[in-house]
Structure 1
Amino acid sequence: MTETYGEYNLKDQRAQTSHAIQLLQAKIPQLRKNLDKSALAVTQFRKKHHISDPDTYAASVYEMKQTLEQQEQELKAKIAEVETKYNELQKQVGNSTDVAIDKAILAQDTTYQNLVKQFQEAEITYYTELTKYRETHPAMRALKGKRDRLYSLMQAQVESALGSKAGSVGVLTDGTSEIRQTLATQLFEAQTAIAMQTAQLDNVRLARQQVSLAFAQIPQLQQTYTELQRQFSFNSSLFTKFSERLEELRIADAQEIPAWRLLERPLLPEYTVEPNVLLNLLLGGIGGIAFALAIAQLLERSDRRIRELDEFRELTNMPLLGTVPKLKALQAYSFDSAKVVPSYEYSVFMESLRSLAINLRYSDSDRSVKSIAFTSAIPSEGKSTLIYHLGCVLAELEHKVLLVDADLRRPTIHKLASLQIALAYLLQLRQIVTGGISCKRLACTIPSIYLPPAPFHRIPWFC
């Protein structure tokens, strides 16, 4: 039997392990596919946006944006400075800017300057020889022809150097002073610098706009990349855990040994272990007592009614006039006999009412109590019984008592007093309301007690 249990246990354990291995082997290819898909998504994102890490890219874009803004400010300052210099030079030169620049270009043209020198020398020679010979002399004609040829070469050189602007400048036969030439050169350099810096400023502004647009797209790129990276990390972690678990199960399956081993031969017991009747009875009794105590404690805490005098004193902090015992029912009394009030001298109930009446009488020594109102939180708490018999006790003490039953729906004072109520009282009560008769005519008088009628219990439609 031991061998049978061992073989069964080994087969059962191996069956469980084999089932887990098959489940993991079926799940891992799908996990690998998901991992490759998420990795491909990350790679495509990097290739599409030409970034490896959005955070690093954001830092570099922000730094580039700051650099371009700084360059823009510097170029604006330089352009303003060069424009100021340009305006000053233009005032000093006197001519228009284009003419001054064209003259500066001709002044720096070596070929043109050589032609100017030759022209000046030829002209000096011509006028010198003119003092000796007539203009028709062959030598003078030769000098004049040389001078005209040099002038034509100068015009050709001006057109070659200035192009279409040659007509506005003309041919300069006299040399330009060195100062004016320097000013014209500086003016040309200033104009060139303004043009270059303006072009640079336009390029910087265009680059800054492109960088700002790229910087505005960074939050969306970061969110997309974070989601792709999170999905990749999740798939990678899941694939790694499943792979590790598969290897663990394979190793455990290879090292599986029976968990059953015979430690001691089984013996047949002489006494039953279960059920232990005595222990069960003891535990049941203890549990029942604990449950009953818990229920009693719960009921006591949930009951908010005042049952003891000490509780009343703690809650109200008011003087206690008296205590009246609880009675199930009292018999109604008739006052037809000569005796005014039935004798309850030996009744605990009446004795408590007498004590209450005395306390009411001496509760306020400065003034006498003329009216007392009785009420309760809920119906049927004994108000009518209490005030009726209290009225009887006060009548015994030679007080004039008037009981007013304010319960117009279900009056009970007349039942306790055994009075016969007629329907005519209702008509008389209506006359009281309208002012036809006085209330004293409706009062029912018994010795020492005045009791107004309560006819409304006879009217079903009023209740």
Structure 2
Amino acid sequence: MESRQYTEDIDLKKYWLILRRRWLPSGLVFVLVVTLATAAALIKKPNYEAAGRLLFKKKNTTSSLVTEAGEKIGQLDTLNMMNTPVDTEAQVLLSMPIIQKTIESLNLKDAQGKFIPPAAFLVGVGVKPIKGTDVLQVTYKSRDPKQAADAVNQLMNAYVEMNILTNRAEAAAAREFIAKELPKVLATVRQAEAALRKYREQNNIVALQQEAIMAVDAITGIDRQLTTAQAQLADATARASEIQKKINLTSQQAVNLSSASQSTGVQQTLEELQKVEAQLTLERTRFQETHPLIIDLVDKRNSLKALLQQRVGETLGKDVPVSNGNLQLGDVKQKLTEDLVTTEAERLGLLNQVTSLSRARTAYQQRASVIPKLQQGEKDLERQVEAAQASYQILLKNYQEVQIAENQNVGNARVIEYASIPGMPADDKRKLIIAAGIVAGAMLYVVTAFLFDLADPSLKTAKEVREIFKYTVLGMIPSFKKKMRFRFGKHDPIVPPLPVQDSPHSIISETYRMLQANLKFLSPDRPLKVIVVTSSVSKEGKSTVSANLATAMAQLGRRVLLIDGDLHHPIQHHIWDLTNVAGLSDVIVGQADVKMAVKSVMDNLDVLPSGVIPPNPLALLDSQRMTSLIADFSTDYNFVIIDTPPLVLVPDALSLGKLSDGVLVVVRPGVLDAVSAAAAKSFLVQSGQNILGLVVNGVIIENEPDSYFHHARAYYQESTTSKVPASRSENVSSRS
């Protein structure tokens, strides 16, 4: 039953092995990235943050304590119930005029000597309300701690100053409005008082109550006619009074003003006078009365007033005093003036009628008949005077209060905490940069490892080798990490190791013994005698496997012959430190005797070197002489091991494979690539070779998580340190 494989687990192991295999280039990339991040963190200057606080008041409490009008000026309010006035003031604080003024006050300039743009300054500014309070926190970040504190303080001061100027501007606007209204209301008061005085003079009113008591007994006669006339007179009087309330003019004034308002000369002079008075009012806020400009404006105003009065007299044909505010009449007021004239004429007619009736009744009733009418007229005029005086008093009081509020340097905000120079950085990101460098380095480590692994076409693990060849694995030889022997010479190659001979109790030695045991059990009925050892490509360790396998067999007491069948690049004579004067090629062509060519290298082990390298090795190996030699060797020896060239390079191994009992294929992960492995297997299948199995050479234990070497290494380490006698251990050390 085949074991069930889980792709997820296999992939995770594969990825982990890739990261371990490519640790050197990936580690260099990781170290480089972390080093650059650390250098950037050390170079980066930290930012310092300074903070200050502003307190806001919904009402200007100082102004409200002094005046009632000042209570409304500068009052904080909001149109949206979802927001607070503090949110609005936060945006005001970040407005361009305040930011620009702060930049200029701090003299913040760029490399070209120009003031930095407001957007660059706003990057470091932070404004946020403190929840549950009317306090606004202002912050600024800068690499210079002093600049951070100065920026916050200057920003808050600029806002407070602008807030005071705004409140004063509101008070000034209110003052100007009241100043314009006061003359009009005062004129109305004077008109009402004049009307009352005139009424009393015209009717000889001194004490109407006493006169009424004396004349009550004399009232008789034409009450119905007089009552009707009085009612009509009252109606006309009421209408005239209503119109007078609207235009604040008597009938005579209405006639005069109607004529004056239609005069072009009067209107032009009046406009120039108003401009001079407005300029004079403005300049008095800046200069004293003795200033030449003020004196010149006063003279100009007096001249214009005289000219205006002259032109009014010329228009009306007499010297009539007219208020400047009434010289300009609109269409509505002009219509009301005409109505007043008509109504007044009607009222005077009725008054004459009543007077006539009164004279008629005077004969009978004396003066008593006119007393109730006089009382009513007097009361009406008195009420008009009282109303006009009340309005004037209110405006005058508000005017004085607004003047006081305007002169106060009080706003709705005050600084409750100035920013101090910060001593510690606010956002030291050096640790964060280093951490980011570590994370980026780790990611690049992974990327680098996978890129290097993708660029390397070789097979990495024994598992990949098995999946391509699908042959039985007879042995797995761990990587030999001890120093190898060197032959010094012009073309002498590195000599492969002999751990079976030099370190008989090592893991590698035991793997070779396991290999020869597996070969023995492959064919229990017909034992193997002639074995061809080959590989797909060069440098897979076929010669090393051949030599160590022959040594392992010889140590078991079996007679073994090791033949160097690689007539292209022989190596066995280097491994055994033999001369290659006479060997296999010489024996085949009859130039050397077999017994002279075969050399004994240890008990039960003989080696036949390759001999002189011929021009056409395949012709010798595929000859009848070679076939007879193999037959003779299989009779004289228990095992004959032939070291042959790689499969994909020359056909020698395939030719010798037909003369043997089987072919043992050596593969080495990290050297063999998938294309060469597939080609080698194709050659073996097409030639019909008897494949004994695979020997996986140079296995890196750390790259084989599913191998048994992890436990075997611990076992042999324990056995060599605790169970091997001291004398034997010394012997092994001397041999290796």
TM surpasses 0.5: no
Name whichever structure is richer in strand by fraction. Answer: 2
TM band (smaller chain):
0.3 to 0.5
Name whichever structure is richer in helix by fraction. Answer: 1
TM-score (structure 2 length as normaliser): 0.23
TM-score (structure 1 length as normaliser): 0.34
